[in-house]
A and B are shown apart, each in its own frame.
Chain A
Amino acid sequence: MRTGLNRGLAEMLKGGVIMDVVNAEHALIAEAAGAVAVMALERVPADIRKQGGVARMSDPELIIAIKEAVSIPVMAKVRIGHFVEAQILQALRIDFIDESEVLTPADDQYHIDKHRFAIPFVCGARNLGEALRRIGEGAAMVRTKGEAGTGNVVEAVRHMRAVQSEIRRVMMAPDEELMTIAKELGAPFPLVQEVKKLGALPVVNFAAGGIATPADAALMMQLGCDGVFVGSGIFKSADPARRAAAIVQATTHFKDAERLAHISRGLGEAMPGLEIAGLTATYAQRGH
């Protein structure tokens, strides 16, 4: 079993920033800015949102070019339930697969049985039950779903707070209440027991979906996440290299307000943001 090794890789990413990149040039900018990993994809979520259509796994050629350009871990996305896209990414020998709601789901009922793979997976979750279902399926890491491509952090905050408050509830509950809690959460009972014992998720939990500024990254860190994904927020901004470096700094020095004030200065325009209420498609509703 590679569970320990795969969860271990996620541990090494903690306190870091994972950046969406669409070509080798972006990947090099991300690495130089101090990203701990890059997510290789054809279009950042903001463009997927704008252009519409079915969003699928990226062309292997693009993924290979990015893998050859950088020395940090390379991740790539597959559609929810699309286990053949996952087989292909594993055959490309990348480091991590994101079974992601940002792509158009291939299966509206079931996620990938991630235990069948040697490669680690990260999955999105809006609450504790969803996180534990994904971990039960074999995810080595979870992240908030947030609402990708909006530059609006509100959904990521909602999801992180939901996970944290449900963990607190599990921790406070006497053992005889755990089965009912597991039933209500729709979560595997042994994982609910483990959450009570650890006082935390058994895997690393990152923030994702709508993070656009150093302050957003620090907010998510102060709310208790282990690190952040930044998708459209970097390469849809006016000065990607500077903003990327600033978000990396903010994720490390997340409690140091004076340093955050310095880091946040003069970064140029952030990506344009979207109100959640005005969206025609909410990605967070994909997969349960």
Chain B
Amino acid sequence: MRVGVLALQGAVKEHLRAVRRLGHTGVEVRLPEQLEGLDAIILPGGESTAMRRLLDKAGLLLPLQEFVLSKPTLGTCAGAILLAKRIEPSLEAPVLGVLDVTVERNAYGSQLDSFTCRGDVAGLQDFPLVFIRAPRFAGLGPNVSVLASCNGQIVGVRAGHTWALAFHPELTEDLRLHEMFLRPE
């Protein structure tokens, strides 16, 4: 598969490394034409406010929105915020607005509240969960299912081909989640 990683800012290299280790072709996406021929895309962690500006300035907002509506998409942390239909605090307009969830930015506080734990994700047992100034999910629409929970909070969701995670599998050596996301259905 040809797998794009949105490369405006953030943990781009880590996702590309995971994609390539699994035998797929990883492609950096900064401009609309780089979406051509991709089978799936990953929206990495980083700062969603910065990515919002950069998507807009690169003319990537509408082409990317069209792409994620039809192709497998994985958003991690900031990437999940880009996908959500509703962002809390609600002063913020959605970015791509394709996933029927409410995402609360910086839900736990500052970097001092960042944490790790382990848990089950989409049937994968004992997966390492790394939360860095992480968001969390609420208000799931009828087509959205829970992929993972941690301490009573929803930290991973899925609606069809669109996956959103509040944690960072790309910062671990565990490739199971990337493998599952990229597995042909």
Q: Mark B131-146, 1 if CB is under 8 A from A, else 0.
A: 0110000000000000
Given A16-B9, A252-B9, A253-B30, check contact A34 B112 (CB 8 Å).
Answer: no
Stretch at the interface among B19-27, B41-49, B147-155, B175-183: B41-49
Tell me if B61 counts as interface (CB < 8 A to partner A): no
A34 to B55, CA, bound (A): 11
Cβ-defined contact, A96 with B50, below 8 A? no
CB-CB under 8 A from A5, the residues of chain B are: 111, 114-116, 130, 132
What are 14 of the A-B contact pairs (CB < 8 Å)? A12-B46, A12-B78, A13-B46, A15-B12, A16-B46, A34-B49, A36-B46, A73-B111, A95-B110, A245-B53, A245-B57, A248-B50, A251-B9, A252-B9
CB-CB under 8 A from B110, the residues of chain A are: 73, 93-95
CB-CB under 8 A from B64, the residues of chain A are: none
Tell me if A237 counts as interface (CB < 8 A to partner B): no
Interface residues on B, range: 35 or more
Cβ-defined contact, B116 with A15, below 8 A? no
List A residues at the B interface (Cβ < 8 Å). Answer: 2, 4-6, 8-9, 11-16, 31-37, 71-73, 90, 93-96, 118-120, 245, 248-249, 251-253, 256
Given A5-B132, A71-B105, check contact A34 B14 (CB 8 Å).
Answer: no
Residue of A whose beta carbon sits closest to that of B131: A5
Min Cβ gap B174→A in Å is: 13
Cβ-defined contact, B130 with A33, below 8 A? no
**Other-chain residue from A4, A9, A11, A252 in contact with B14 (beta carbon distance below 8 A):** A11
